[in-house]
Amino acid sequence: MLGLGARLAFLHLGPHTAELADIHRNRTWAVEIGVERGKVFDRRGLENILALDLPVKDVCADPDAVVSSGQVAVVSAKLSELLGLPVSDVAQKLDRPGRRYACLKRSVQEEDSQRIAALHLPGVFFEDQTVRFYPHHDFLCHVLGFVNHDGIGSAGVEQRMDKFLRGCPGFLESEKNALRKEIYWKRDRYVPPVEGANVYLTIDQNVQYIVEKAIDTIDEGHDSLTWKGAWAIVQRVSTGEILAMVSRPAFDLNDFRAAPDDAKLNRALGTVYEPGSTLKSIAFSAAFNEKLVTPETVIDCENGSWMHRGKVLHDYHPSGRLTVADGLKKSSNILTAKLSIQLGDERLYQYMRAFGLGQKTGIDLPGEEAGLLRPRSDWSGISGSRMAIGQGVAVTAMQMISIYGAIANGGVMMRPYVVRQVVAADGTILEEHRPEETGRPITPETAALMRRLLARVTEPDGTGKRAAVEGYQVAGKTGTAQKPVPGGYSSTAHIASFVGFLPAQAPEIVIVVVVDEPQPIRTGGMVAAPVFKRIASEAARYLDLRETESSAVAMK
């Protein structure tokens, strides 16, 4: 009895620091509580989910348990059948006595894992995971972007809005019982997880669909048209909201690892090209804004061939004398060059800066390029006249749509944006994007004048006649630029584009369409304008834009 008493006292009171530390280490339960990444919706909200987290299972096994059950062959056969893996691979992973863990297949869908679980195979177990899922696969892929293996947004909205979408994992420090379950009253520390916030885009899923369909059918109405790439943007004039943004080639977001880098490039923001005629609007706007000319001013167009400072400039459609208004309609290079000479290099440069050339638009997406506007000090004698017609200067489609957006919006430039709202899981609005003015390159009067003149481009005898939309007056400009190659310009590789807005006198939406190296037809009027037309007519009806009265169409 005395002995037992001593023993008890020793056990209770003895120095057991090492044992206690050991016990504590084995029983402490410190876990990170994972959170679901936020969802991405289009502008209409809950009905249109574009990106979400899906629960999936990693199928794992305890090879030692499988081996000791003596059913390696059976288990491998069943698993390879249900997981679609080669039997030999599965068997090789399982036939390893002494090993306690093997991952057989990651991210298995819930239904498939349930089918495996129903078999009650020895040693097979599942680990909960989530995987980012994009229900529409390649739809809106460049805007949405994707999440890399570590759960970090790596492109598009997923990247730019990562800090909101990701949420904040919780933390739990507690003790576990012998069944490895938490003992609730032993909980030391608990930091509740913050679920990822949801992101609502300005993108309208239906407009996006219209544009994607139009881009995918560029060759409609042509015999064997080929092209290297194409991109398009639709923007709301008054706010700068992006309603649609498409880049081709595209890729499946759910399988982004398999996509080539070329497909992952968002060309609407990341491809810099020489715009050609579409840029002439800057020189025209500047000349009107500076009151150097009126639409009725007549300028000699030299019958299509003009020598200036030792270099010859040609017109595609040679003319004698043209009014400034007709010069824009017929897209005369010589007339535009003469306007730029009247403006002078310094003023031209200032207007180009004011319209945003050489600067990022500041859209809330990663991967935007600033384009190329050489500083004045690098200009040669003919630079100004060439840049006025869109040569020797490079832009992104985003910049081009901003220029025409400003003209459409009474001379006020708006910052483009794709994220409308960020809403936390508990409903609080974390961030709300409002329309933001970024500059006023021209007066409202000049803008109105430009709208009137640009509307003539889509008249039956204008270069952009194929962009005309029934019921609406469309203002816009074609562009056909030779691609620069070492030593000059290519005669076969062109960039064909059309940029414009409607309704011409009270514009609601502005649209840009760019096609890279169309063959064998190469002009913006032939290739890009019809695509613009398809987008404009369907989007106008979907958005229920007010039709232009027929008298107004007839007037100009």
Partner 1 sequence: MLASTSSVRATELLHDPSFYLRRQLLWLVVGLVLSYGAARLDYRLLRRFVVPLSVMALTLLVLVFVPGIGVKVGGSHRWLGIGPIRLQPSEIAKIMLVVGMAAWMSRVERRATDLKTGLLAPLAGLGLTLVLLIAEPDFGTTLLCGMVGMLILYAGGTRFSFLLVTAVAGICLFFLAILHDPLRLGRLLAFIFPEKYPATAYHLAQSKVAFIKGGLFGAGLGNSIQKQYYLPEAHTDFILAIVGEELGLVATGLVLLLFLAIMVSGLFISFRAPDTFGRLTAFGLTVMLVLQAGINIGVVTGCLPTKGLPLPFISYGGSSLVGALTSVALLLSIANAGSEQPDEVSRSVKDRTHSF
Q: Which of residues 21-80 bind partner 1 (CB under 8 A)?
A: 23, 27
Minimum CB separation of residue 68 from partner 1 in Å reads 15
For partner 1, give the closer residue by CB, 14 or 427: 14
Minimum CB separation of residue 177 from partner 1 in Å reads 3
Pair 431, 421: CB distance under 8 Å: yes
Cα angle value 176/182/187 (rounded, 5°): 95
Binding residue for partner 1, selected from 4, 46, 307, 555, defined by CB under 8 A: 4
Q: How far is CA 423 from CA 48, 196, 420, 434, 480, in A?
A: 15, 9, 10, 15, 43
Q: Which of residues 106-135 bind partner 1 (CB under 8 A)?
A: none
Binding residue for partner 1, selected from 5, 98, 310, 487, defined by CB under 8 A: 5
Binding residue for partner 1, selected from 21, 183, 191, 485, defined by CB under 8 A: 183
CA gap 370, 272 in Å, rounded:
8
Q: Single out the catalytic residue among 76, 174, 277, 383.
A: 277
Minimum CB separation of residue 117 from partner 1 in Å reads 23
Binding residue for partner 1, selected from 46, 118, 179, 307, defined by CB under 8 A: 179
Site string for partner 1, 8-27 (x = CB under 8 A): xx-xxxx-x--xx--x---x
Grouping H, G, I as helix, E, B as strand and the rest as coil, residue 36 is coil
CA gap 546, 553 in Å, rounded:
13
Minimum CB separation of residue 180 from partner 1 in Å reads 9
For partner 1, give the closer residue by CB, 178 or 307: 178
DSSP state of 545: P
Minimum CB separation of residue 111 from partner 1 in Å reads 31
CA gap 542, 501 in Å, rounded:
15
Outline where DSSP puts E strands in 177-330.
Answer: 182-183, 189-191, 198-201, 229-236, 242-248, 298-300, 305-308, 311-314, 321-323
Across the strands, what pairs with 519? Answer: 226
Site string for partner 1, 258-297 (x = CB under 8 A): ----------------------------------------
Kindly state whether residue 177 participates in binding partner 1, applying the rule CB under 8 A. Answer: yes
Q: Which stretch binds partner 1 (CB under 8 A): 3-11, 208-216, 342-350, 483-491?
A: 3-11
Grouping H, G, I as helix, E, B as strand and the rest as coil, residue 244 is strand
For partner 1, give the closer residue by CB, 11 or 312: 11
Pair 454, 475: CB distance under 8 Å: yes
Pair 414, 239: CB distance under 8 Å: yes
Q: How far is CA 93 from CA 5, 14, 120, 151, 210, in A?
A: 55, 48, 19, 27, 49
State yes or no: cis peptide before 122, omega within 30 of 0. Answer: no
Minimum CB separation of residue 17 from partner 1 in Å reads 10
For partner 1, give the closer residue by CB, 178 or 554: 178
Binding residue for partner 1, selected from 64, 173, 175, 517, defined by CB under 8 A: 175
For partner 1, give the closer residue by CB, 15 or 260: 15
Minimum CB separation of residue 187 from partner 1 in Å reads 13
Q: By C-alpha distance, which of 515, 386, 423, 526 is closest to 165? A: 423
For partner 1, give the closer residue by CB, 175 or 290: 175
Please provide the size of the chain in residues. 556
Q: Is 340 a catalytic residue?
A: no
For partner 1, give the closer residue by CB, 13 or 258: 13
CA gap 250, 137 in Å, rounded:
10
Q: Which stretch binds partner 1 (CB under 8 A): 2-10, 36-44, 146-154, 495-503?
A: 2-10
For partner 1, give the closer residue by CB, 120 or 181: 181
Across the strands, what pairs with 190? Answer: 172
Indicate which residues carry an active-site annotation: 277
Chain residues that interact with partner 1, rule: CB under 8 A: 1, 3-5, 7-9, 11-14, 16, 19-20, 23, 27, 175, 177-179, 183, 186
